[in-house]
Amino acid sequence: MAAQRITVNASSGPYTVHVERGALGQAGVLLDGLQEPASRLFLLSSPRVWRHWGKALAAGLKGAAQARAILFNDAEAGKNLRTVEQIARTLAQSGADRKSVIVAAGGGVVGDVAGFVAASYARGIRVVHVPTTLVAQVDSAIGGKTGVNLPEGKNLVGAFHQPSLVIVDPQLLRTLPPREFRSGLYEVIKYGIIGDEKLFATLEQGMVSLVNQEAGALEHVIQRCVEAKARIVSEDEREAGLRMILNFGHTTAHALESTTRYRRFLHGEAVGWGMIAAIRLSVAMKLVEPEAAKRMEALIGAAGKLPRLPAVSRARFLEAMRTDKKAEHGRIRFVLTEGVGRTRMASDVPEDLVAQALSSLRTGGRVNRR
Ligand SMILES: NC(=O)c1ccc[n+]([C@@H]2O[C@H](COP(=O)([O-])OP(=O)(O)OC[C@H]3O[C@@H](n4cnc5c(N)ncnc54)[C@H](O)[C@@H]3O)[C@@H](O)[C@H]2O)c1
Ligand SMILES: [Zn+2]
């Protein structure tokens, strides 16, 4: 695969997402390309990721600035302010200064924590992301959203802090547990539905190869998704408008995750169900043709079987949707589809239709068109 350099235009300046099989081996060379050299490198990662890729990363960085590894637990339960404090104190004790650069090697948890540390340490130092999950490669490492959880809710403390560079090496996905990989595929499918016909058709034709992690198909699709994310966040860094389309499927997903206390679903799996709900709502609202909806649902189905839905009362579920970060004045907001590549925001969806769409997920049935 030819190396791809995709540019993200941020208010803090442009940065490159370098996508290439084997890119990890060139991490040092890529870091040398930073506008200002790093005084020191701090490699933030988790013991699990480090076990698989620590040596290769250290080798790839050979010749770059002096590096020190700081490992922390990347369970979602560890994505909190205590972890941020521990890392920041280790940085301070190790003499990190304003010219130091954090290299975050891991999934979305490592990236979100490391990104937030970088946003706040010494009022902001540079971060380079080396995403190691499919979710992180196509989504979380790009766009500058960082943050941690509070007991009161997910991602409630955070900041926008754009990376200086993102190094995407699809080879790193080889060691990812299969369920984690498949969970990432649902976010990939999301790009297909909100993106364009071409990406959608590529996914329709290539889903089997993707599920089997065939290198060529995977690399091609990662590049397309990175391009899509780069385009969207370049246009709308702070989620004032366009960037909201990335929340397709997420209103229901977040409610599914919170009502099951984040235990039943991996995020992408909840997004899989959430997209089906959004598609059915779009049909019920007569926004999308049933034929197009069927194609979208078939694509989601092709990624594999989703975990069973929980037995949660309709009232509790709707309440969880109302407290979603996207809700405004207690009105549930949805990103709906008008067809591949065409989305529409809606905060005027009648709750009985929402309830119908949700129960249709359980029965596999359809929602009546209004
Ligand atoms: N900032 C954003 O824009 C954004 C976007 C999406 C998700 N997120 C956040 O990302 C988090 C989820 O991230 P994720 O889905 O990447 O999963 P994750 O970071 O939770 O990682 C999943 C598991 O895979 C392991 N792992 C990671 N890379 C591996 C590899 N190459 N080989 C073997 N094991 C590996 C991890 O140790 C972990 O156990 C959530 O906290 C979510 O809120 C943030
Ligand atoms: Zn998501």
Distance CA 20, CA 211 (A): 20
Counting every residue, how long is the chain?
Answer: 370
pLDDT of residue 153: 85
Active site residue 239: yes
Ligand 1 in contact with 322 (CB < 6 A)? no
pLDDT tier at 367, thresholds 50, 70, 90 = low
pLDDT of residue 271: 97
pLDDT of residue 327: 73
pLDDT at 370 over 80: no
Ligand 1 in contact with 106 (CB < 6 A)? yes
User: What would the mean pLDDT of 39-46 be, rounded to a whole number?
Assistant: 97
Provide the 3-class DSSP secondary structure of residue 338. Answer: strand
Residue whose C-alpha is closest to residue 100's, from 114, 79, 111: 114
Ligand 1 in contact with 229 (CB < 6 A)? no
Ligand 1 in contact with 324 (CB < 6 A)? no
- Specify the DSSP class assigned to residue 29: H
Q: Residue 74: phi, psi to the nearest 5?
A: -100, 25
**Cβ-based burial of 349 (10 A; exposed 0-12, middle 13-18, buried ≥19):** buried
Q: How far is the CA of 72 from the centre of ligand 2 (A)?
A: 23
Kindly name the residue from 79, 126, 129, 267 that is annotated as catalytic: 267
Ligand 1 in contact with 135 (CB < 6 A)? yes
Active site residue 267: yes
Question: For the chain, how long is the longest CA-to-CA vector?
Answer: 64
How far, CA to CA in Å, does 275 sit from each of 186, 188, 191, 301, 343? 9, 12, 11, 11, 12
> CB-side exposure of 289: number of CA atoms within 13 Å?
5
Please name the residue ranges forming H helices in 236-338.
250-259, 267-284, 290-302, 314-322
pLDDT tier at 239, thresholds 50, 70, 90 = very high
- 342: Cβ–Cβ under 8 A, 6 or more apart, which residues? none
pTM, to two decimals = 0.95
pLDDT of residue 65: 79
Ligand 1 pocket mutation pick from 46, 48, 174, 175 by most atoms within 8 angstroms of CB: 48
The ligand 1 atom at the shortest distance from the C-alpha of residue 266 is 15
User: What would the mean pLDDT of 18-46 be, rounded to a whole number?
Assistant: 96
pLDDT at 186 over 80: yes
pLDDT of residue 12: 94
